[in-house]
C-alpha cells in the first residue's frame, strides 16, 4: 500500500512540476495567466491511497504589469475582459495579449495572425477591416463660427462696405474651405457694426465678393437672437468644380465689450488623401489616418467577459477558449458593462511571480525527495524481510 501511496505522490508532484515549469517558461509571455496545481487526497473504500491533482486553477483575476510600447496598435485591458479573435479553424479564442496589426488586405489581425473581432460601421459583430485605398475629396458644406463681436465698436466712418478699405469694417475672420476637386479656398467674413446691436457680415472668397450680407442681431444681454439656424452662402462655381455653397452657423456668437475674439472657426470638407497609419483609441475604435489630416473610424474592438473566467481552457497562441463552465461570453466594447478600459500604447505582461514560482519549485523538490525516500525505505524493509525468510 505504501508503495502505491508514494507513487501517487510522485505522480502528483510531477504534475505540479509541469505547471510550475510552464509558469516559469511563460514569465515573458504577454497576457499569460499563471496556473496552479491543486492537490486533493485520494481514498479507496475509506483507505488512504495517496494524492492526486484535483484541479488546476488560473490566476485570471490578477493582472500583469503594463509595459508601455508607444505603438498605436497595442492595447492592454485595465480590468476584466478579453480580446476576441477568430482562429483559422473558425473557432473563437480570447486573449489578453493586445498586439494588433493589419495584413496586406487591410484585415485587422492579432499577433498570431488571427482575425480580430469587433463592431463594424454597421454595428454588426465580425472581423474588422480597414480601408487600404485613397479617399476622394469632399467639398465643404458647412462652416461653424462662434466668437464675440465687440460691443465697443462704433459704426465705420467709411460707407458703404469695401473689403479693400479697412475703414469700412470693424473686424474680419478667414476660413479655409474645399471644393469638389479638393482645392482649398479662403472664405473671409467682414464684420460691420450697424445701428444699435446689429452686426452686418459680408463675404469674399479668394478676394472676390460672394453672396449676400447677413445681419446678426443681439439683445440687451449680448445674446444673438437672429438669425435662427444656419445661413446659406453661395460661393459660386470654382473653375472645373461643382457649384460650392456652405451653411454657416453662428450659434454661440455674442456681443460684449472688449476685443473681438473667436472661439470656433471651422469648415468641413477635405482634400483627397491616402492611408498613412492605423491606431487605436481608448474606446477601442480603430482610427485610420490619412495624408490630408483626416481620421476615420473603421470599427470598434469587441471585449468579452465571462461569469466564470476560471472555466476558460488554455489553447495555443496565448489564448483561451470558452467551455461549458464559463457560460456564454458577454460581448461589449471597452469601458462598458463589466469590460475594462483600454490602455493604448501598452501591453499586459505575464502575471507570473517568479519568486513564488521558485519557492514552489523548491517545495515540490523536497516533496519529491520525501516520497522517493518512502519508496526507498519500503524497498529496504522488503529486502530485510526477504533475507529473514
Q: Which pLDDT tens digit goes with each residue over 32-65?
A: 999 999 888 888 877 788 888 888 889 998 999 9
Average pLDDT on 245-272 reads 96
How far apart CA 329 and CA 62 sit, in angstroms, is 20
Give the per-residue pLDDT at 373: 82
**Cα–Cα separations (whole angstroms), residue 13 to 123, 260, 373:** 50, 80, 14
All 3 cell numbers of residue 208? 472676390
Give the per-residue pLDDT at 1: 60
- Show the domains of the chain with their CATH numbers: 2-61+351-388 (no CATH), 66-134+275-348 (no CATH), 142-267 (2.60.98.20)
Least confident range from 4-8, 210-214, 288-292, 303-307: namely 4-8
Give the per-residue pLDDT at 233: 97
**Cα–Cα separations (whole angstroms), residue 168 to 175, 191, 205, 254:** 20, 9, 18, 21
Give the per-residue pLDDT at 299: 96
pLDDT for 264 beyond 90? yes
- Cα pseudo-dihedral 307, 309, 313, 318, rounded to 10: 130
In 26-85, which residue ranges form alpha helices assigned H by DSSP? Answer: none
Q: Please, are residues 218 and 199 in contact by the beta-carbon 8 Å criterion?
A: yes
**Residue 369, phi then psi, degrees to nearest 5:** -65, -40
Q: Please state, rounded to an integer, the average pLDDT across all residues of the chain.
A: 93
Average pLDDT on 323-328 reads 93
Least confident range from 41-55, 154-168, 206-220, 301-315: namely 41-55
DSSP 187-220: EEEEEEE-STTEEEEEEEETTEEEEEEEEEEE-T
Q: What is the pLDDT of residues 104-135, one digit of tens each?
A: 999 999 999 999 999 999 999 999 999 988 89
Average pLDDT on 75-85 reads 96
Give the per-residue pLDDT at 23: 93
Q: Please, are residues 163 and 209 in contact by the beta-carbon 8 Å criterion?
A: yes
Alpha-carbon 304 to chain mean position = 14
Amino acid at each position: 500500500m505504501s508503495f502505491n501511496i508514494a507513487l501517487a505522490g510522485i505522480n502528483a508532484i510531477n504534475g505540479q512540476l509541469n505547471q510550475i515549469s510552464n509558469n516559469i517558461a511563460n514569465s515573458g509571455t504577454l497576457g499569460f495567466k499563471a496556473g496552479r496545481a491543486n492537490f486533493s487526497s485520494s481514498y479507496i473504500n475509506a483507505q488512504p491511497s495517496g494524492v492526486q491533482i484535483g484541479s488546476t486553477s488560473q490566476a485570471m483575476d490578477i493582472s500583469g504589469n503594463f509595459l508601455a510600447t508607444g505603438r498605436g496598435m497595442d492595447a492592454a485591458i485595465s480590468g476584466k475582459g478579453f480580446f476576441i479573435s477568430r482562429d483559422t479553424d473558425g473557432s473563437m479564442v480570447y486573449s489578453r495579449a493586445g498586439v494588433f496589426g493589419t495584413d496586406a488586405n487591410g484585415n485587422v489581425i492579432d499577433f498570431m495572425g488571427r482575425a480580430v473581432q469587433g463592431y463594424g460601421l454597421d454595428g454588426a459583430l465580425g472581423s474588422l477591416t480597414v480601408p487600404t485605398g485613397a479617399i476622394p475629396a469632399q467639398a465643404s458644406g458647412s462652416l461653424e463660427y462662434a466668437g464675440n463681436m465687440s460691443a465697443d465698436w462704433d459704426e465705420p466712418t467709411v460707407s458703404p462696405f469695401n473689403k479693400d478699405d479697412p475703414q469700412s469694417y470693424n473686424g474680419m475672420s478667414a476660413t479655409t474651405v474645399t471644393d469638389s476637386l479638393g482645392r482649398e479656398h479662403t472664405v473671409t467674413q467682414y464684420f460691420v457694426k450697424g445701428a444699435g446691436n446689429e452686426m452686418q457680415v459680408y463675404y469674399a472668397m479668394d478676394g472676390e465678393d460672394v453672396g449676400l450680407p447677413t445681419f446678426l442681431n443681439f439683445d440687451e444681454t449680448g445674446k444673438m437672437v437672429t438669425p435662427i439656424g444656419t445661413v446659406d452662402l453661395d460661393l459660386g462655381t470654382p473653375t472645373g468644380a461643382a457649384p460650392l455653397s456652405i451653411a454657416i452657423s453662428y450659434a454661440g456668437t455674442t456681443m460684449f465689450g472688449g476685443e473681438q475674439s473667436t472661439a470656433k472657426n471651422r469648415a468641413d470638407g477635405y482634400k483627397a488623401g491616402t492611408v498613412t497609419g492605423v491606431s487605436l483609441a481608448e474606446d477601442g475604435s480603430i482610427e485610420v489616418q490619412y495624408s490630408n489630416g483626416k481620421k476615420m473610424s473603421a470599427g470598434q474592438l469587441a471585449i468579452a467577459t465571462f461569469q466564470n473566467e476560471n472555466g476558460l481552457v488554455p489553447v495555443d497562441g496565448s489564448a483561451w477558449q470558452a467551455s461549458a463552465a464559463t457560460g456564454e461570453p458577454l460581448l461589449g466594447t471597452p469601458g462598458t458593462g463589466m469590460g475594462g478600459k483600454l490602455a493604448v500604447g501598452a501591453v499586459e505582461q505575464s502575471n507570473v511571480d517568479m519568486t513564488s514560482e521558485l519557492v514552489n519549485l523548491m517545495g515540490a523538490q523536497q516533496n519529491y525527495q520525501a516520497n522517493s525516500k518512502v519508496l526507498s525505505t519500503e524497498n529496504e524493509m522488503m529486502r530485510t524481510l526477504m533475507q529473514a525468510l
